[in-house]
Structure 1
Amino acid sequence: MNSIVVPRHVDEVEPHRRAVRLNPRDANAHALLGIALLRQRELAEGVACLRRALELNPKAKDLRALLAAALFDAGDFEAAADNYRQALRFQDTADLHQGLADALRHLGRAAEGETNARRAVALAPDNTAALLTLSAALNAQDKTDEVVAILERVLQLEPDNVDVRYDLGHVLLRAARYADALPFLQEVVQRRPDHALALRHAGTCLRAARRWDEALSCFERALVLAPDNADLLVEVGVTQKAAGDLPGSIATMNQARSIEPDNILAIRGLIYSQFALGAWQEAAAMARAAMAIEPTPDSHSMLLFILSHYCQDADELTREHFAYGERWETPLLALRQPHPNTPDPQRRLRVGLVSADLYHHAVTRFVAPVFESLQHSTQLELYVYYNHTIEDEITQALRSQAAAWRSIAGVDDDAAERMIRDDGIDILIDLSGHSAMNRLPLFARKPAPVQATWIGYAGTTGVKAVDYILCDRFLAPNGRYDDQFSEKVVSLPLGAPFLPASNAPDVNELPALRNGYITFGSFHRASKLSREVIAYWAGLLHAIPDAKMLLGGLETGVDDVLFDWFEEAGIARDRLIGRPRVSVVDYLRQHHEVDVCLSPFPYSGSTTIGHALWMGVPTLATVGATNPSHAAASFMAHLGLSTFITEDRDTYIKLGVFLAQNLPALAAMRASMRERFTNSVLGYPDVCAAGLELGLRKMWQRWCAGEAPAPLRVDLAELVPQDEA
């Protein structure tokens, strides 16, 4: 029992006051006055009377439980807990254990109170109040499975308890068990059509199931009940974006901001939608606004990710990234601890990988082949720290190839660092950079003696605690971008392999031979495009008047924006071909319509270029002053196609014209592209794995020798066994 529920009697207090005045040392008089005051909800004075009664008669044990409940009601949870403990010395009852558990939970000590909550249920197994106290204690510790089981038991005892049905749906929702949560939330809505939170959460579950229209209907019904709720408008905007209606999403997010100008969720929604439409400068301005309202490492990373897509000033881009480390790493320096790792330069290494993208994500196209190659390595063993809750068949495969797999989603940096140190990790590798759900603040604490970043981001982390960046000589050639990294460059024979889709269609004949004209194409996400990129491509189309341009992966609203930009650059719509976002196989099949792909700038990308090459289509790309522009060069150079990489507009256009005039050569290249791919190091993940092993070994040896990080290089010749050299 943890609250006072007694009938209200207006005239009962004064007689008890008189009794106290007449007998000031009468414990019973003080107790009765206290009880009367509690009935009147005069908690402070009632508590004082009960305390005085106990001072006069410490043996009045029944008052101790009443005092504990009154203190709980008054919000003095520490004193309530103390009095519940004293009452339990004389009585072992369910209501006292329940009260103590609730008080401890309010004090943030749910784990401590769990024992009492379990005892309350043991004493009264069918008492729903005790069961709900236990579920609350477990819920505070994120013990979702037990919470669900208990709430299901309560519903067996009280089938008509709508509040518990809602709680069960909400708990399942927070555990991302959307399909399980939805029926409970829908039943709540059916019984209580005005339950705005149930409508909102049902909408979230429907959105997760990609049932866009039904989700929007739930959110709109909730808005009828709460028309000025900015957070509900954000839910609508997020759903519109997920459904591909980017202009609609922007309008809705702006509507939310008209109600709450500083609503961070609305601002983030605007950032995502503007960025997806290629409105980089607008997205960057919003990201800076988000930083001003909610200055966090995540907000800062979002800004840097956007800047990497459009900033072509190398000094500015570098300065902005280094500022991240200065702002978020500096306060953590005092938390750094020594590393007790054994400095043996030849021993087997424990290598940790931190990522939120180890599922059906572009990053796994690169890391999955390396996992497979390294699973039986005698030089190192892989420990994974996974920062996401999504798990699919790719996650399962990677898990089976790792020595250990730890979930750090929702785990704070203190606990994650302890986990890494307890595992004895020698080298910790970031696979995210400043992309979503990164854990760079964890790296800033330096939980491992040697740290590096690899694959997941085009550019530097700006974090000095990250010692190295792993790449190949084509991504960071001859020191060209070294001053743009806070890390030291480790140049490998192959920075990352590429895993082609196993169900990719066959390569077809060059479409230009059938069409009589060349078709350029782009399958890059719209967030990599801009008016400047489109104007650049338009120059190529002007130089080849019969050429056409295919744009793949289009979402609602994106096609109109891009086509308008082409028209502004003088390219008529009848020269443009739009293709929607489709399944991977159908996306690869769309390459059958394209002769040459075009890469955007300054953020060129990698995965899209790898897929195009596997489908026989080379990519014409331009590189610039910033490192993100060089990603395309790595793929093309490994296939001996460096001539497709240019550094100025005139050469770019001349090369496009040359290709259009030499279709037989382009057709021969297309027919042999897969062979060229599989014969290059891109087709040999073991080369990447062996180069990575040796690169990590060199990094480790420097640490063992007490030497500071320095630029390192692994040559292909070093990977050849001595007896074969």
Structure 2
Amino acid sequence: MKKKKSARVNGATDGNSANALMITRFNAGNAAWRSQNWAGALAEYEAALALEPTFELALLGRARALVRLGQWMPAREAFASLLRAHPQQFSGWLEAGHLCRQMGELQQAAAAYQRAMDAAPERYEAPLAMARVLHQLDQKTLAAQAFEQAMSLAGTVQANGTSDLPAEVSHRMGQYLLELGDNAAAAQVLRVALQSLLGQAQNKMQEGHDSMPLVVNQMAEVQIDLGEALLRLGQTPAGLQVMTEASAATQEPTLARLAAMSFRHNLWQEALMVLRKCVQLYPQSATARWNLAHLLAESWQMDEALLVLQEAEALGPMPGAKSMRASIAGRQGDADTALHLYRELAAEPDAPKNLASSSAMSSLYSDQLTAQEVADLHRELFAPLGQGARARGSFVRAPLDGRRIKLGIVSADFHHQHPVNIFMQPVLRELDRSRFEVFLYFTGVSYDEQTRLAQQRIEHWVEATTLNDTQLAKRIDADGIDLLLDLAGHTGQQRMSLFAKRVAPVQATYLGYPGSTGVPNMDWVIGDEVVTPAGSESLCSERIARLPGTVFCFAPEVDYPYPAFTDDVAKRPLTFGSFNNVPKLTPRTLRLWAQILKAVPDSRLLLKAPSFSDGGAVRLFGERLQKLGVDLARIEFRGPTGLTDMMAEYADMDIALDPVPYNGGTTSLQAMWMGVPVVTQAGHNFVSRMGASFMTAAGLPEWVADDDEGYVRVAVQMAQDRAALLALKRGLRERLKARRGWDVVAHTRAMEAAFEGMVS
């Protein structure tokens, strides 16, 4: 008897011990979760489950940790395990739905949200999530019903004494609608959120609660999104008014959001004011100073950016400091330092993918790398992106006979002044809709009247900014795209990792990046006979489709008045010039320009760039030119102006000087359009041959040099005959308009033929 009793006691003791250990491991998982150690949390939850495989909260924790680690398929299996064991687990169904939505499985997401609603019909979160996914499925009537249900449930909770849920629910719904590009509906719902917050504030004040500081910040969060919606709708005065009201906020994250949104809409001075206020309110916050430093750098105010960055580092560790210094080095014309820093960062474990693109971009500006070295670097940087890519033969498409080609375009840059917008708007206008069904997957964050114009010209406009690569890939495949065209390359808001995994049977790159991307599974790059001449195939990881004329067609839809080049123009001191951003003003470029100024007495050099609103940049480049023997009395620095004013300023320039090795693109074509010929040099790759392409297409090959010595010689020669120069300037626009390279209809037909050849 005693022996049996001892066994029972020992068994109970063992059970209690195992249970205690299970709870200990579970609590350790929660602690790791709170510290954002997702891998550690996963290990602890799995240790708890080894002791009790049906432990509900550990099953949920494991699934959540896998989601955070980006292990989506194991996470789906983990949710399935949880829900088999606990079929009424509300959070499990809700978060499984979120995961399905992230994976682009919208129908499965909707099914999971329905199960969550069945499990807890009193909760508002599942109907709200359902409303979001139903909008994505274009079931707007059902989505509206789900939203109303969420609002009703939130109101019931509110009546029972819980926080400001109706305002929160309508705010979140407004954000979802913004994601989907339904800006009018978003504005309507966000106004409901504002009214709800105002009503709650008034009630609390009547009850004697001083809740205005809290409400002001809650309202500001809503106002930021409402301002975004109104600006997208073209209701600019109302949008600016709402943003002004949002500036009353005092919370650091809210002010940071407001500044970011202001900057996206080109309100950079207002954005800086908001962030300076944030630094004043939070003088000990390293993050507040970091945000200010970043925006100063983006606004080309480098000296102050570096100073504020140092202040941020003095307050706390700044993991991104090296990246910011690389960016600043590049923006100050030191491409090789930028490239060195970016490559170091890109080589670090778990480095963000954009650092490889920053390295690639920096290499284009380098005076030290050969064309083949640049091409080899691109291949090296992006080869890993192609691992696990989809096979081209796995795509199922209907035969092309008897139907239109489905052309998908991925771009973030349809907004005012961006080169992609300037060149592509006329192409969109002229594209033959009887031959092409066009889908534009918009990945940008800046909206203005040009964005709305592009929307009008596109048959299918898809808001893709918030879609991850998996979601966007599924959408592109569901649309049945035959040819997917990238317009970004390695520039901002690019999706190179998407293309590397192959999301369409044929993929091509054009316009946004001046050369080969080096990205696996990018099938084609569009060039011409000059930027990508026969024999240059080794410089491109893609096949080359060559357009006749010139690769980019400049056919502006805005009427920029042509300067009146009177006889007095030939009598003024000859003015060379460049309106290129300062990263292109490399040591080699400045050295060539100094030689030209020395060889052409009494000539001047006009330099205009966003950086030259900053006294530090003017001083830096002035010192560099002085060291090359240039009298600064002969140099004029100008800061940024609006596009119309900038175009008019070309009248002050006689001859444009193309930078090397990164030629002017948009700026050179703008100069030519305004009567300013360009001295250029034919380099060895796409980026260094753009000027040669433009001047050759214009029938002016004598303006193209073969080397540095020839570049100086051409500039001096063209400056000597002022009468001939004046005659050329007077007729330059008409000359261009008569040539194929400036005929956007012919250019668009050539692009269409190239597209048809790619998919045939």
Q: Do they superpose with TM above 0.5?
A: yes
Kept in 1, the 8 Å contact 2:385–2:520? The answer is no
* 3-state DSSP of counterpart to 1:471: strand
Which residue in the other structure is 2:510 paired with? 454
Contact 1:492 1:691 survives alignment (8 Å): yes
Q: Distance in 2 between matches of 1:500 and 1:214?
A: 30
Contact 2:594 2:625 (8 Å CA) reproduced: yes
1:132 aligns with 2:188: no
Kindly provide the amino acid, as one letter, of the partner of residue 518 in structure 1: L
Deviation at 1:322, TM superposition (A): 0.7
Tell me what 1:315 maps to: 372
| Counterpart residue type for residue 434 of structure 2 | T
Q: 1:402 aligns with which of 440, 444, 458?
A: 458
Q: Offset at 1:114?
A: 7.7
Deviation at 1:339, TM superposition (A): 0.8
Instruction: State the secondary structure of the residue aligned to 1:650.
Output: helix
- Bigger mean CA deviation after superposition, 365-374 or 241-250: 241-250
Are 2:492 and 1:436 equivalent residues in the alignment? yes
- Tell me the equivalent position of 1:671: 730
Matches within 5 A, 1:600-619: 600-619=659-678
Q: Say if 1:150 and 1:455 are closer, same or farther in 2 by CA, change over 3 A.
A: same
What SS does the aligned partner of 1:303 have? helix
How far apart, in 2, do the equivalents of 1:150 and 1:296 lie? 36
Q: Note if 1:370 corresponds to 2:427.
A: yes
Aligned partner letter, 1:173: I
| Change beyond 3 A, Cα 1:183–1:328 | same
- Shifted more, 496-505 versus 462-471: the winner is 496-505
Q: In the superposition, relative to structure 1, how do residues 470 and 134 fare at CA in structure 2: closer, same or farther (>3 Å)?
A: same
Indicate yes or no: 2:217 matched with 1:166: yes
Asked whether the equivalents of residues 512 and 595 of structure 1 are also in contact (C-alpha less than 8 Å), the reply is no
Cα 1:207–1:440 change in 2 (3 A) is closer
Aligned counterpart, 2:192: 149
Residue 425 and residue 255 in structure 1: after superposition, are their counterparts in 2 closer, same or farther (change >3 A)?
same
| C-alpha contact 2:155 2:166 (8 A) present in aligned 1 | no
Q: CA deviation at 1:449?
A: 0.8
Amino acid at match of 1:485: C
Contact 2:124–2:151 (CA under 8 A) maintained in structure 1: no
1:288 maps to: 343
Displacement, 1:652? 1.5
Amino acid at match of 2:583: S
1:180, CA displacement in angstroms?
Answer: 6.3
Choose 276-285 or 652-661, whichever is displaced more: 276-285
**TM-score normalized by the length of structure 2:** 0.73
CA contact 1:121–1:134 (8 Å) conserved in 2? no
Maintained 8 Å contact 1:521/1:549: yes
Q: C-alpha separation between the residues in 2 aligned to 1:81 and 1:180?
A: 49
Q: Which amino acid aligns with 2:422?
A: R
Contact 1:307/1:317, CA 8 A, preserved across alignment: yes
Question: Aligned partners of 2:199, 2:257: CA distance in 1, in Å?
Answer: 23
Equivalence for 2:613: 555
Correspondence 1:381-392 to 2 at 5 A: 381-392=437-448
Relative distance call for 1:358 and 1:469 in structure 2 (3 A) is: same
- Superposed displacement of residue 364, structure 1: 1.9
Q: Would the alpha carbon gap of residues 105 and 685 (structure 1) be closer, same or farther in structure 2, given more than 3 Å must change? A: closer
The aligned counterpart of 2:327 is 272
Match for residue 529 of structure 2?
Answer: 473
Change (3 A) 1:84 1:134: farther
Matching residue's letter, 1:254: Q
Q: CA RMSD in A?
A: 3.8
Q: CA deviation at 1:340?
A: 0.7
Partner SS, residue 333 of structure 1: coil
For 1:528, the aligned partner's letter is K
Q: 1:388 to 1:653 in 2, by over 3 A?
A: same
Deviations along 1:174-212, one digit per CA (max 9) or x if unpaired, are: 6772746645544444xxxxx444554555566567776
Aligned-partner residue type, residue 363 of structure 1 = V
Q: Which residue matches 1:538?
A: 594
Task: Please give the residue correspondences for 1:204-603 in structure 2 after superposition, counting only pairs within 5 Å.
Answer: 204=260, 216=272, 218-224=274-280, 226-241=282-297, 243-264=299-320, 266-291=321-346, 292=348, 295-310=351-366, 312-330=369-387, 332-333=388-389, 338-344=394-400, 347-360=403-416, 361-374=418-431, 376-479=432-535, 481-494=536-549, 495-500=551-556, 502-509=558-565, 513-515=569-571, 517-553=573-609, 554-556=612-614, 557-603=616-662
Asked if the contact 1:383/1:405 (under 8 Å) is kept, the reply is yes
For residue 631 of structure 1, what is the aligned residue in structure 2? 690
User: Which segment is superposed worse, 232-241 or 589-598?
Assistant: 232-241
Q: Is the 8 A contact 1:230 1:257 kept in 2?
A: yes
User: Which is further off, 405-414 or 121-130?
Assistant: 121-130
**1:656 matched to 2:656:** no
Task: Sort the Cα spacing of 1:661 and 1:187 in 2 relative to 1 into closer, same or farther, 3 A.
Answer: closer
Q: Displacement, 1:500?
A: 3.3
Larger mean Cα displacement after TM superposition, 422-431 or 536-545: 536-545
Q: Structure 1 residues 83 and 647, CA, compared in 2 at 3 Å: closer, same or farther?
A: closer
- Residue 680 of structure 2 aligns to a residue whose secondary structure is strand
The alpha-carbon deviation at position 329 of structure 1 amounts to 1.8
Kept in 2, the 8 Å contact 1:97–1:117? The answer is: no
Q: How far is the alpha carbon of 1:167 from its aligned partner?
A: 2.9
Residue 179 to residue 286, structure 1, CA distance change in 2 (3 Å): farther
Matches within 5 A, 1:102-117: 117=150
Gaps of 5+ in 1: 1-43, 45-67, 86-93, 190-194, 702-725
Query: Which residue of 1 is the match for residue 108 of structure 2?
Result: none
Measured after TM superposition, the shift of residue 696 of structure 1 is: 1.4
CA displacement at 1:219 relative to structure 2: 3.5
Encode CA deviations 1:582-612: one digit per residue, 9 max, x unaligned: 1222212222221110000111021111111
Counterpart pick for 1:644 among 703, 715, 736: 703
Residue 699 (structure 1) aligns with: 758
Displacement of 1:508 after TM fit? Answer: 3.0
CA contact (8 A) 1:551 1:579 kept: yes
**1:235–1:516: structure 2 CA closer, same or farther, 3 Å change rule?**
same
Shift of 1:525: 0.9
Partners in 1 of 2:567 and 2:511 — Cα distance? 33
Q: Cα deviation per residue 1:647-679 (whole Å; 9 max; x = unaligned)?
A: 212212221221122222212111111111000
Report the structure number with the largest CA radius of gyration. 1
> Secondary structure of 2:751's match?
helix
Q: Secondary structure at the match of 2:624?
A: helix
Deviations, residues 328-386 of structure 1 (Å, cap 9, x unaligned)? 222x3268881111233564211111111112111122211211111x44222221111
Deviation at 1:488, TM superposition (A): 0.3
SS in 2 for 1:166: helix
Secondary structure in 2 matching 1:142: helix
Distance 1:338 1:457 in 2: 28
1:408: how far off?
0.6
Q: Which amino acid aligns with 1:427?
A: L
CA deviation after TM superposition for structure 1 residue 261, in Å = 4.7
Aligned to 1:705: none
CA–CA separation in structure 1 for the residues paired with 2:226 and 2:675: 43
Contact 1:471–1:490 (CA under 8 A) maintained in structure 2: yes
Preserved contact between residue 216 and residue 249 of structure 2 (Cα < 8 Å): yes
